């Protein structure tokens, strides 16, 4: 979510016409071993790419009703630009069509100055993913399941709104926020960490401009996961070896929730686990699990939440577990990957909600080309991930999804 949650153009990208024009004008040629990377000199290069996610979704209107809503959605269209300016300095700039289903506006997703001097200590500054649980670090393009956000556990502050605002209702966008992150790894890459400092909630309850602090620590027990920076992936389709990684993350901001007259201190703690095993027959078993415990202290009453005021973050517990199997035999140009998933959200002072999901991925080129078909059932589909008032209600309903993901 990133990425995306989401997405950073971490693959070496193939030639695009714009990049070829730049290459001709600047008098440099693309590296023969990397079709996405255009070399300027011995230390400078630039890469360009794009990502698309689009879906069809049909949702039952009521538990016993015969009517269904049918929607075609443009979920993401992203442009990726990465560059190296110096041996130790890089630049990342990504855009996304936010609010795509309401016409869409192309806005800044990531804008990061990267100072990468040593595997143990690196500094990123600008707009970037806030360190959090694996789902956020995967983003939508590198998650194992397409519907990972729309029917998942509650959002972190930076993912609460699609657009960044300064009126006390926003702490970022698409999991990103403005700030700085120190990250690196120790013990041959097995212990990976990221510590960040961000603006967090803008205005409203946070009238004193308190900083949001975010940390993530992960340990790789089997093979070491290899991703750009502190990003992660929800599956490697067997190409990353055998993976067993356990991580814990935490975010805290004083006056990070509520209203100006009824503020509260926000804390969000998560634990996530990825297990991926390549079997002797070439098949790949993958398990993803996460648990969240979020709380708001020193204020922010349920009365304010029921009134719908301010920044009404989630309080309570939630978990999300999924398992899948990549069948080794190819069918046509890809492989089938059936999966099952269960999500349970248990808010304080509001009703519980859950969803069960079963689906089938048709994996053509890993995260770069994938088609998914899924079925969902539960009241999380009607109660949602933003309404934690005491009187929220909703039916258990069915939903069908057909999803396409492409990136280059």
Q: How far apart are CA 317 and CA 258, in angstroms?
A: 19
Instruction: Supply the pLDDT for residue 20.
Output: 37
Torsion of CA 325, 330, 332, 337, to 10 degrees: 0
Mean pLDDT over 218-235 rounds to 97
Is residue 225 domain-resident? Answer: yes
Q: How confident is the model at residue 230 (pLDDT cuts 50, 70, 90)?
A: very high
Q: What total number of domains does the chain contain?
A: 1
Alpha helices in 290-369 (DSSP H): 302-306
Is residue 87 domain-resident? Answer: yes
Mean pLDDT over 129-133 rounds to 98
Query: 21: burial class by Cβ within 10 Å (0-12, 13-18, 19+)?
Result: exposed
Q: Answer yes or no: is pLDDT of 2 > 60.
A: no
Full residue range of the structural domain in which residue 337 is found: 17-407
Q: Answer yes or no: is pLDDT of 43 > 70.
A: yes
Task: Name every residue whose Cβ is closer than 8 Å to that of residue 341 and which is 6 or more positions away in sequence.
Answer: 145, 320, 321, 322, 323, 356, 357, 358, 359
Q: Answer yes or no: is pLDDT of 51 > 80.
A: yes
Q: How far apart are CA 230 and CA 129, in angstroms?
A: 9
Residue 221 contacts residue 246 (beta carbons within 8 Å)? yes
Rounded to 5 degrees, φ, ψ at 73 are: -125, 135
Residue 380 contacts residue 345 (beta carbons within 8 Å)? yes
Instruction: Supply the pLDDT for residue 4.
Output: 46
Q: Which has more confidence, 181 or 5?
A: 181
Q: Answer yes or no: is pLDDT of 15 > 60.
A: no
Instruction: Supply the pLDDT for residue 306.
Output: 87
Q: What is the pLDDT of residues 264-302, one digit of tens each?
A: 999 999 999 999 999 999 999 999 999 999 999 988 888
Task: Name every residue whose Cβ is closer than 8 Å to that of residue 251 and which is 6 or more positions away in sequence.
Answer: 130, 131, 132, 156, 157, 212, 213, 214, 215, 266, 267, 268
Token pair, residue 253, equals: 């901001």
Alpha helices in 27-154 (DSSP H): 134-138
Mean pLDDT over 210-214 rounds to 98
Q: What is the pLDDT of residues 357-371, one digit of tens each?
A: 999 999 999 999 999
Q: Answer yes or no: is pLDDT of 31 > 70.
A: no
Is residue 68 domain-resident? Answer: yes
Q: How far apart are CA 295 and CA 258, in angstroms?
A: 12
Q: What is the pLDDT of residues 93-108, one digit of tens each?
A: 999 997 777 777 899 9
The predicted model scores a pTM of 0.90
Q: Answer yes or no: is pLDDT of 340 > 50.
A: yes
Mean pLDDT over 188-207 rounds to 97
How many Cβ atoms are within 10 Å of 146's Cβ, its own excluded?
A: 24
Q: Answer yes or no: is pLDDT of 27 > 60.
A: no
Q: Answer yes or no: is pLDDT of 30 > 50.
A: no
Is residue 1 domain-resident? Answer: no
Q: How confident is the model at residue 304 (pLDDT cuts 50, 70, 90)?
A: confident
Residue 38 contacts residue 28 (beta carbons within 8 Å)? yes
Q: Answer yes or no: is pLDDT of 109 > 80.
A: yes
Q: How confident is the model at residue 65 (pLDDT cuts 50, 70, 90)?
A: low
Q: How far apart are CA 10 and CA 408, in angstroms?
A: 10
Counting every residue written for the chain, the total comes to 408
Instruction: Supply the pLDDT for residue 98.
Output: 77
Q: How confident is the model at residue 37 (pLDDT cuts 50, 70, 90)?
A: confident
Q: Answer yes or no: is pLDDT of 399 > 60.
A: yes
| 65-74, 96-105, 120-129: range with lowest mean pLDDT | 96-105
CA neighbor of 378 nearest in space, from 340, 332, 343: 343
Helices (H) and strands (E) in the chain, counts: 4, 18
Q: Answer yes or no: is pLDDT of 337 > 90.
A: yes
Is residue 292 domain-resident? Answer: yes
Is residue 123 domain-resident? Answer: yes
Q: Answer yes or no: is pLDDT of 6 > 70.
A: no
Q: Answer yes or no: is pLDDT of 117 > 70.
A: yes
Is residue 6 domain-resident? Answer: no
Is residue 146 domain-resident? Answer: yes
DSSP codes, 273-306: EEEEEE-TTS-EEEEEEEEEEEEEES---HHHHH
Average confidence score pLDDT of the chain? 90
By percentage, how much of the chain surpasses pLDDT 70?
Answer: 90
Q: Answer yes or no: is pLDDT of 167 > 90.
A: yes
Q: Which has more confidence, 271 or 10?
A: 271
What CATH number corresponds to the domain at position 298? 2.40.160.10
Q: How confident is the model at residue 90 (pLDDT cuts 50, 70, 90)?
A: very high
């Amino acid at each position: 979510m990133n990425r995306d949650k989401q997405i950073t153009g971490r693959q070496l990208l193939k030639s695009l016409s714009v990049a070829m024009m730049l290459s001709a004008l600047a008098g440099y040629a693309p590296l023969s071993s990397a079709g996405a990377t255009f070399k300027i000199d011995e230390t400078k290069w630039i890469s360009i790419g794009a990502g698309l996610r689009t879906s069809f979704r049909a949702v039952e209107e009521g538990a016993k009703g015969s009517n269904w809503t049918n929607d075609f959605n443009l979920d993401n269209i992203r442009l990726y630009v990465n560059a190296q300016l110096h041996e130790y300095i890089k630049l990342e700039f990504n855009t996304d069509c936010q609010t795509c289903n309401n016409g869409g506006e192309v806005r800044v997703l990531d804008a990061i100055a990267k100072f990468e001097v040593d595997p143990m200590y690196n500094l990123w500054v600008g707009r970037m993913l806030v360190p959090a649980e694996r789902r956020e670090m995967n983003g939508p393009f590198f998650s194992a399941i397409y519907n990972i956000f729309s029917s998942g556990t509650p959002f972190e502050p930076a993912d609460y709104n699609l657009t960044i605002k300064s009126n006390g209702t926003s702490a970022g966008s698409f999991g990103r926020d403005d700030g700085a992150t120190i990250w690196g790894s120790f013990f041959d890459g097995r212990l990976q960490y990221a510590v960040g400092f961000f603006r967090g909630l803008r205005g409203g309850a946070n009238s004193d401009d308190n900083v949001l602090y975010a940390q993530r620590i992960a340990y790789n027990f089997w093979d070491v996961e290899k991703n750009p920076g502190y990003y992660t992936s929800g599956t490697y389709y067997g190409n990353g070896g055998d993976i067993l990684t356990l991580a814990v993350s935490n975010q805290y901001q004083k006056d990070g929730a509520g209203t100006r007259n009824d503020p509260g201190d926000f804390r969000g703690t998560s634990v996530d686990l990825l297990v991926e095993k390549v079997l002797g027959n070439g098949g790949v078993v993958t398990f993803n699990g996460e648990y969240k415990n979020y709380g708001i202290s020193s204020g922010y009453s349920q009365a304010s939440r029921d009134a719908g005021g301010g920044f009404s973050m989630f309080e309570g517990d939630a978990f999300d577990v999924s398992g899948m199997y990549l069948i080794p035999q190819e069918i046509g140009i890809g492989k089938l990957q059936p999966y099952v998933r269960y999500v349970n959200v248990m808010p304080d002072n509001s009703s519980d909600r859950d969803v069960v999901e079963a689906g089938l991925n048709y994996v053509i080129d890993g995260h770069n080309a994938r088609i998914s078909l899924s079925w969902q059932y539960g009241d999380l589909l009607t109660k949602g991930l933003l309404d934690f008032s005491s009187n929220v209600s909703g039916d258990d309903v069915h939903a069908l999804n057909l999803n396409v993901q492409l990136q280059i």
